[in-house]
């Protein structure tokens, strides 16, 4: 029996998941991780606590099956992206708290960059929209705010890594300092086309090359762990959304997945062609299955996100008290035939692609004396689907290729009303797989293929099983009428 271990280090927990050679999940253990919010808009984590949580999760799953590290044939890592750790090469101690992807502390600097003559160059080279999310401005902040940090970085005394890099460095006792193309493509420091750290970007963010990890393919033997977990081959690395794309078996151009969590993350595989968005979607690297270390088979994806998706359901529950649990939203929405003209645009933190309007704010429109709780709950669920359709429309307009079907996962994808409405408003099938733990599954695929446990993407595609397929039932004219009404509501929310 060959065991494959996936580490899924997310924003709220570090998980370890064990798979057998048929890609079936045998064990899972999650350890929660705290976030600190020291100032408005700031989000930090303790990198040592992340490592301790991940380590505890590994011990727990090995323990459940009475395995030792040497029983593990391959290990893949999927991680929260963009979160930035800077540490001392000698002591291994972080020199500052990890700056989490959500942290807005560098928003002013990014605003200046976006207004500068360099903006077009940055967006063209990196495929990203200039924003505080990405690691570049976070590294710059640490180097400017920790005494001596910049000089020490130039001398190679301190190192940068995203969470994948940090975990692999800890798992190898400081021997291996690497990241993969998918994570590197989120730093705003990598040339998306060449897959190399870009000298111009390093200059703009004032990041010394000596502190950067080596960029390696997402699938391929990187190193073998030492210390308490000695003997595990690390053979897969991908940022969480790219791992989920692989876990949904989206290995070819035109295959798309949407993850319905707090927000939504939609990714469409773009094959070997670098995408150039005219709708302000992000161009990013998809996990490549190239274990030889060359990047001539570089693969790309287009990415768009909805800021508030499942979070609107939380808001109905926690702030309005309209529902008791998130699951209640389904029968309540289904208790009415439509929203009675009510639209809910949950622009609580502005609007993302294709609008990019940070000053937009939420609106509930079309209320009448007969509007009820059920209409508002239904409108909130529909808003998740309308916003996702706008992302898919933008992706199709950018690529000129139709998205054939949408593969779904994430906490809110269990909602059958939402999934049916999503299919209706897209006019495309929505397909929910049996295993919705797609992030860890993708990390396992990357590692297992690299170690020859699976022959390639063709084989792991056969593991992907449908739980339920939702076919569109809404007539096309009604669909477009509804979409027009949604766009009118959005215009009310815009700044």
Which stretches of 146-255 are DSSP H helices? 149-154, 163-171, 181-184, 199-205, 240-247
Contact 455, 219 (CB under 8 A): no
Between 330 and 390, CB nearer to ligand ADP:
330
Which phi and psi angles does 178 have, rounded to 5°? -140, 160
Closer by beta carbon to ligand ADP, 241 or else 329: 329
Of 178 and 384, CB closest to ligand ADP: 384
Alpha carbon distance 67, 431 (integer Å): 35
Largest CA distance in the chain: 69
Considering only residues 119 through 178, tell me which ones interact with ligand ADP, judged by CB under 6 A. none
The least CB distance from residue 450 to ligand ADP, in Å, is 27
- The SS3 assignment for 157 reads coil
Write down the least CB distance from residue 312 to ligand ADP, Å: 8
Stretch that binds ligand ADP, among 100-108, 269-277, 408-416, 481-489 (CB under 6 A): 408-416
Give the residue with the Cβ less far from ligand ADP, 68 or 314.
314
User: Which C-beta is closer to ligand ADP: that of 271 or that of 410?
Assistant: 410
CB of 96 to ligand ADP, least distance (A): 25
Query: Using CA atoms in the order 424, 428, 429, 431, what is the torsion angle rounded to 10 degrees?
Result: -100
Q: Are strands 13-19 and 219-224 parallel, antiparallel or unpaired?
A: unpaired
- Interface map 195-234 toward ligand ADP (x if CB under 6 A): ----------------------------------------
Burial class of 352 by CB neighbour count within 10 A (0 to 12, 13 to 18, 19+): buried
How far apart, in whole angstroms, are the C-alpha atoms of residue 214 and residue 212?
Answer: 7
Rounded to a whole number of angstroms, the minimum distance from the CB of residue 135 to ligand ADP is: 20
For the bound state, the minimum distance from the C-beta of residue 456 to ligand ADP, rounded and expressed in Å, comes to 29
Residues 308-337 that bind ligand ADP (CB under 6 A): 310-311, 313-314, 326-327, 329-330
Give 264 or 270: the residue with its C-beta nearer to ligand ADP. Answer: 264
DSSP-derived secondary structure letter, 280: S
Any contact of residue 80 with ligand ADP (CB under 6 A)?
Answer: no
Q: How many C-beta atoms lie closer than 10 Å to residue 294's C-beta?
A: 11
C-beta atoms surrounding 455 within 10 Å: 10
**Alpha-carbon distance 443 to 76, whole Å?**
5
The pair phi, psi for residue 270, each rounded to 5°, is: -110, 10
One character per residue 240-279, x = contact with ligand ADP (rule: CB under 6 A): ---------------------xx-----------------
Q: Which long-range contacts (CB under 8 A, 24 or more apart) does 90-95 make?
A: 90/157, 92/169, 92/170, 92/174, 93/48, 94/46, 94/47, 94/48, 95/142, 95/146, 95/149, 95/158
Q: How far apart are alpha carbons 140 and 329 in whole angstroms?
A: 43
In angstroms, what is the minimal distance from the CB of 343 to ligand ADP? 18
Q: Shortest distance, CB of residue 415 to ligand ADP, whole angstroms?
A: 4
Of 230 and 349, CB closest to ligand ADP: 349
Residue among 412, 419, 425, 489 that touches ligand ADP (CB under 6 A):
412
Only segment of 132-140, 141-149, 154-162, 404-412 that touches ligand ADP (CB under 6 A): 404-412
Q: Which residue is nearest to ligand ADP (CB)?
A: 411
Kindly state the number of chain residues that form the binding site for ligand ADP, as judged by CB under 6 A: 16
Query: Least distance to ligand ADP from the beta carbon of 203, Å?
Result: 35
3-state helix, strand, coil in the chain (%, to 5): 35, 25, 40
Q: Is residue 483 near ligand ADP by the rule CB under 6 A?
A: no
Q: Interface with ligand ADP by CB under 6 A: which range of 104-112, 122-130, 162-170, 406-414?
A: 406-414
Contact 264, 258 (CB under 8 A): yes
Applying the rule CB under 6 A, the residues between 12 and 71 that interact with ligand ADP are 12
User: What is the signed CA dihedral for 207, 213, 214, 219, rounded to 10 degrees?
Assistant: -130
Task: Select from 221-229, 284-292, 305-313, 437-445 the region that touches ligand ADP (CB under 6 A).
Answer: 305-313
**Spatial contact of 236 and 444, defined as CB atoms under 8 Å apart:** yes
In angstroms, the CA 198 to CA 19 distance is 37
Q: Residue 416, interface with ligand ADP (CB under 6 A)?
A: no
Shortest distance in whole angstroms from residue 431 CB to ligand ADP: 17
d(CA 200, CA 173): 32
Instruction: Please state the closest distance from residue 48 (CB atom) to ligand ADP, in A.
Output: 23
CB 366 within 8 A of CB 489: yes
Spatial distance between the Cα atoms of 229 and 112, rounded to a whole number of angstroms: 45
Measured CA to CA, the distance from residue 257 to residue 237 in angstroms comes to 19
Near ligand ADP by CB under 6 A, which window of 112-120, 139-147, 336-344, 405-413? 405-413
| Minimum CB–partner distance for residue 35 and ligand ADP (Å) | 12
Nearer Cβ to ligand ADP (36/151): 36
Binding site for ligand ADP (CB under 6 A): 12, 261-262, 310-311, 313-314, 326-327, 329-330, 410-412, 414-415
């Amino acid at each position: 029996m060959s065991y494959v271990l996936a580490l899924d280090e997310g924003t709220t927990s570090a998980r370890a998941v064990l798979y057998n050679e048929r890609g079936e999940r045998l064990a899972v253990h999650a350890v929660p991780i705290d976030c600190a919010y020291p100032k408005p808009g700031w989000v930090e984590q303790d990198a040592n606590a992340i490592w301790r949580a991940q380590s505890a999760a590994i011990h727990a799953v090995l323990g459940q099956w009475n395995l030792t590290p040497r029983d593990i044939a391959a290990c893949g890592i999927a991680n929260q992206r963009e979160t930035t750790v800077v540490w001392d090469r000698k002591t291994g101690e972080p020199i500052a708290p990890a700056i989490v992807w959500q942290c807005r502390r560098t928003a002013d600097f990014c605003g200046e960059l976006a207004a500068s003559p360099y903006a077009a160059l940055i967006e063209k080279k990196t495929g990203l929209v200039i924003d505080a999310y990405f690691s570049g401005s976070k590294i710059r902040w640490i180097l400017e705010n920790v005494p001596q940090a910049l000089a020490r970085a130039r001398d190679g005394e301190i190192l940068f890594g995203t969470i994948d890099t940090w975990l692999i460095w800890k798992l190898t006792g400081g021997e291996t300092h690497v990241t993969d193309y998918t994570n590197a493509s989120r730093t705003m420091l990598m040339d998306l086309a060449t897959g190399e750290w870009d000298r111009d970007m390093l200059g703009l963010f004032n990041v010394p090359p000596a502190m950067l990890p080596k960029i390696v393919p997402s699938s391929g033997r990187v190193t073998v762990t030492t210390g308490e977990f000695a003997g595990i081959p690390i053979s897969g690395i991908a940022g969480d959304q790219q791992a989920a794309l692989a876990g949904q078996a989206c290995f070819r151009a035109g295959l798309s997945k949407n993850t319905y969590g707090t927000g939504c993350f939609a990714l469409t595989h773009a094959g070997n062609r670098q995408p150039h968005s005219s709708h302000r979607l992000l161009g990013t690297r998809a996990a490549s299955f190239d274990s030889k270390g060359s990047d001539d088979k570089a693969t790309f994806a287009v990415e768009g996100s909805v800021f508030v998706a499942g979070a609107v359901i939380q808001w109905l529950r926690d702030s309005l008290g309209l529902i008791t649990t998130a699951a209640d939203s389904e029968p309540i929405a289904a208790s009415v035939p439509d929203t009675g003209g009510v639209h809910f645009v949950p622009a609580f933190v502005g609007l993302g692609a294709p609008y990019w309007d940070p000053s937009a704010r939420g609106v509930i429109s079309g209320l009448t004396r007969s509007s009820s709780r059920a209409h508002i709950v239904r409108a909130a669920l529909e808003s998740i689907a309308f916003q996702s359709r706008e992302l898919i429309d933008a992706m199709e307009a950018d690529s000129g290729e139709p998205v054939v079907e949408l593969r779904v996962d994430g906490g809110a994808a269990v909602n059958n009303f939402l999934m049916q409405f999503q299919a209706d408003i897209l006019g495309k099938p929505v397909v929910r797989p049996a295993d919705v733990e797609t992030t860890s599954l993708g990390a396992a695929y990357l590692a297992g293929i690299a170690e020859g446990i699976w022959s390639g993407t063709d084989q792991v595609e056969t593991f992907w099983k449908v739980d339920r397929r939702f076919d569109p039932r809404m007539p096309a004219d009604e669909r477009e009428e509804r979409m027009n009404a949604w766009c009118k509501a959005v215009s009310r929310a815009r700044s």
